[in-house]
Amino acid sequence: MYKFEKNTIPLYIQLYEQIKEDIKNNLLAGSKLPSIRKMVDEYNLSKNTIQSAYNQLYAEGYIESKAKSGYFVSEDIYQKFEKDLNESFDKKSKNKNYKINFYPASLSKSSFPKKTWLKLYSKVLKSDIHYGIYQNKQGDEGLRQEIQKYLFSSRAVNCTKDQIIITSGFSDSMFIVGTILKTISNSLAIEYPGYAVARKVLELLAYDIKDISINSNGIDINQLEKTACKSIYLTPSHQFPTGVTIPIANRIKLIHWAKKNDAYIIEDDYDSELSYYNRPIPAMQGLENSDRVVYVGTFSKALSPALRVAYIVLPIKLLPIYYSTFDFSFSGVPIDLQKTLELFLKDGYWDRHLRKIRNLNRKKHEIMKNSLLHYLKDEIKILREGSGLNLLIKPLINIDLNKLEKLAQKRDVKIYFKEYFEIKKVLALGFGAFEEDEIENAIKTFREIWQEAKSFK
């Protein structure tokens, strides 16, 4: 039953909108619409009003006209709505909030220094920020200066503030770097197995990607030298997902390869701050005064992934390409957030936070490691530990990992998998998102699911 109101909206539009909603939500494909004569009689509307509404629905593909039979709901439009509905459902499933989520790269809610951040943010808001202009394209100069100081003291990165670009997250950084290097060559090498997000961005940029194997010393340099690539993406301090660190001798070999071939190395230093047993090795960028390394970093792993703040250190030679290619683009990070982060670094809060977050996650790392060994004993082998926000685990028993995943979902538990050298599927259990007192119970629940999965042959 359709309803009509006396307002400025024409009657045929009111009818058209109501029939369209009916098609989306109620009417099946092939359903016959009432004849124009019947609609005239039922709603006391003119024939022209009904015809105009039907004409609009027909023009947009919601209905079909069949000679001497009338109007029917289109089969194609119905199938599209059904597909959209399913896609919407799938997205909701993917974004589900699980009771226990072992996501490999999250931080706990309590780890963010909210009180300090609020104090600094309030100070920034009271300052004389000019919100009526477009700010510096590369990011706020003060923040870039503080990042330069931090990178030099902690990672031995040699640069000036003018080489630093503030970006809204790792994928934004990779898009900028990938676009710049594409002007030099269409061929690029990448670690395999490696970080899927980096690969995805490079694929979207239509690179000819060459996979280079990982061994116990990191990237296979012999394989790399057989390619004609002019750039390579690396995670040298903590290879993702294997955890391998490239030794200093191989780092120098890679820099020599880049110099010899007029090539560039993209150094992703993604979680160098979270090393629990040893001090992290200095960045490749600072070796031999290298002007062949593009350094990429982020605040997501140690401060907050929600803030979406990352940065690039470009070699001086690449700055002209950046300026000409991205002359239209401004930093996607809000100016007040940049100013707050600047104060966070400048006033010493960042260094204190790093010590706290490193100690906190070291404890979580040990709790999860000990809980896994206690509850699963000799049924697993921990393949990678000592850094980052997750542990890689290989089953030592015959267990169906697909069945394990499905059983976990039934218990409202989300588990994750990664590749590890030649092993296509190992478990990646994150500990960062949990509070300390939640980890053991999470592993107990995981053990129950594990035991159930073992019973399936």
In the numeric block, which tokens belong to residue 146?
A: 């503080």
Confidence (pTM): 0.77
Confidence of residue 429 (pLDDT cuts 50, 70, 90): very high
pLDDT interval class at 30 (50, 70, 90): confident
CATH of 100-109+352-454, one of 3.40.50.10860, 3.90.1150.10, 1.10.443.10, 2.40.160.10: 3.90.1150.10
Q: What is the mean pLDDT of residues 139-160?
A: 95
Burial of residue 265 (number of CB atoms within 10 Å: 0-12, 13-18, 19+): buried
Using pLDDT thresholds of 50, 70 and 90, give the confidence band for residue 76: low
Q: Check whether 281 has a pLDDT greater than 80.
A: no
Query: Quick one: average pLDDT of 280-293?
Result: 86
Write down the CATH number for the domain with range 130-347: 3.40.640.10
pLDDT of res. 87: 56
- DSSP string covering 76-95, please? HHHHHHHHHHHHHHHHHHHT
Q: In the predicted model, is pLDDT for residue 277 greater than 80?
A: no
Decide: 418 and 428 in contact? Cβ < 8 Å. yes
Output the pLDDT for position 388.
86
Dihedral, 350, 353, 358, 359 alpha carbons, nearest 10: 150
- pLDDT bracket for residue 88 (50, 70, 90): low
> Has residue 90 got a pLDDT over 60?
no
Whether the predicted pLDDT of 241 surpasses 80: yes
Distance CA 449, CA 80 (A): 38
- Residue 126 has a pLDDT of 94
pLDDT of residue 282: 85
Band (392; pLDDT cuts 50, 70, 90): very high
Is residue 89 predicted with pLDDT exceeding 60?
Answer: no
Residue 414 in this model has a pLDDT that exceeds 90: yes
User: What pLDDT shows up at residue 353?
Assistant: 95
Helix segments in 237-394, DSSP class H? 248-260, 319-325, 335-346, 349-376
Chain-wide mean pLDDT for the chain?
90
Three-state DSSP at 231 gives strand
What pLDDT does residue 210 have? 96
Strands 187-192 and 231-234: parallel
- The model's pLDDT over 290-339, given as tens digits with 9 standing for 90+, comes to 799 999 999 998 999 999 999 999 999 999 999 999 998 888 899 999 99
Please check the confidence at residue 91 and state whether its pLDDT lies above 80.
Answer: no
Give the strand pairing for 293-298 and 310-313: antiparallel
Which tops the pLDDT comparison, 23 or 353? Answer: 353
The arithmetic mean of pLDDT across residues 98-121, rounded, is 94
Q: Which of 145-159, 263-277, 321-335, 389-403 is least confident? A: 263-277
Residue extents of the structural domains in the chain:
11-88, 100-109+352-454, 130-347
205-209, 291-295, 326-330, 362-366: least confidently modelled range: 326-330
Fold of 11-88: Arc Repressor Mutant, subunit A (1.10.10)
Tokens read off for 265:
């190395």
Tell me the pLDDT band of 23, cut-offs 50, 70 and 90: confident
Res. 273: pLDDT tops 90: no
Tell me what pLDDT residue 80 has: 57
Tell me phi and psi for residue 428, to 5 degrees: -120, 100
**Residues belonging to the chain:** 457
Name the residue with tokens 């989520």: 101
pLDDT at 142: 96
Confidence tier at 1 by pLDDT (50, 70, 90): confident
Instruction: Indicate whether 445 pLDDT > 60.
Output: yes
With a cut of 60, say whether residue 86 has pLDDT above it: no
> What are the C-alpha distances in Å from 69 to residues 43, 228, 452?
21, 66, 59
